[in-house]
Structure 1
Amino acid sequence: MGASVPLDPLHNAVRPDLADVRLADRVFAPHYAASVPRIVVAATPLRQGSDMASNALAELVVGDVFEVLEFAKGRAWGRAPGHDLVGYVDADALSWPGK
């Protein structure tokens, strides 16, 4: 594989430590993850950073799909394909299998 191609992290699920496996042919990352689709069950902002004071990029509404790549500290990081944006949401706002 050649050198990584710079990708906009606002629209591509790539961070210095983790990237969407679908981007493996374009970017090097220490770890890759396959997204797990979840349904938004409570309206929630999609934030640029993991903290609650971080800039809101969009509002996800009930029924939206969110492709989760990582759960940590009550937040989920991933991609909102309906908005073509990557960010963090409250993990409690997402569906869980069997619920």
Structure 2
Amino acid sequence: MTAQASYSLPEDIVGLNGPVEKPAPGTLPLRGDLAHIALAKNYLAAHYVIPQRRRIGDTAATLKLAMRDDAGNGTTLDAGQEIELLDCAGDWAWIACGPAGPSGYVRLGMLASEQ
């Protein structure tokens, strides 16, 4: 079973007070449809997710800025590094190193097996 990250859920009304600058791709774990729960007070998304803790597998993984092998590269994460799994689609996982990022996509096979 995978352990979940421990983040406190917002206790009061969540709302925005004006325009918010969109972060650069590969930084904060924020998409138009989904965002890390820790960003709920500052960013609007259709849904928020409480991430699951996982690890990068036996080889380093370079984050992709989109779910394509030819997408731009983001940060490279070390083998065995702890990450937060936010979403899976097909053979791709959207992951982050925490609510401050970086974030991006890796093939599911790049993650260590669940124990």
Q: Report how far residue 56 of structure 1 moved.
A: 1.4
**3-state SS in 1 of match to 2:105:** strand
Structure 1 residues not aligned, in runs of 5+: none
> Where do 4+ consecutive residues of structure 1 move more than 6 Å?
none
Contact 2:95–2:103 (Cα < 8 Å) also in 1: yes
Mean Cα displacement is larger for which, 23-32 or 51-60? 51-60
Give secondary structure in 1 for the equivalent of 2:94: strand
* Structure 2: 5+ residue stretches without partners: 1-14
State whether residues 16 and 44 of structure 2, in contact with CA within 8 Å, keep that contact through their aligned partners in structure 1: no
- Give the TM-score normalised by the residue count of structure 1: 0.84
Read off the aligned partner of 1:57 and give its amino acid letter.
G
TM-fit CA distance, 1:35: 1.2
Contact 1:6 1:27 in 2 (8 A): no
Match of 2:36 among 12, 16, 20: 20
State which structure, 1 or 2, has the greater radius of gyration over its C-alpha atoms.
Answer: 2
1:5 is matched with: 20
| 1:8-44 deviations in Å (ceiling 9; x for gaps) | 1432111111111100000111111111121111322
Residue 61 of structure 2 is aligned to residue 47 of structure 1: no
Q: Percent identity?
A: 26
TM-score, normalised by the number of residues in structure 2: 0.73
Structure holding more strand per residue: 1
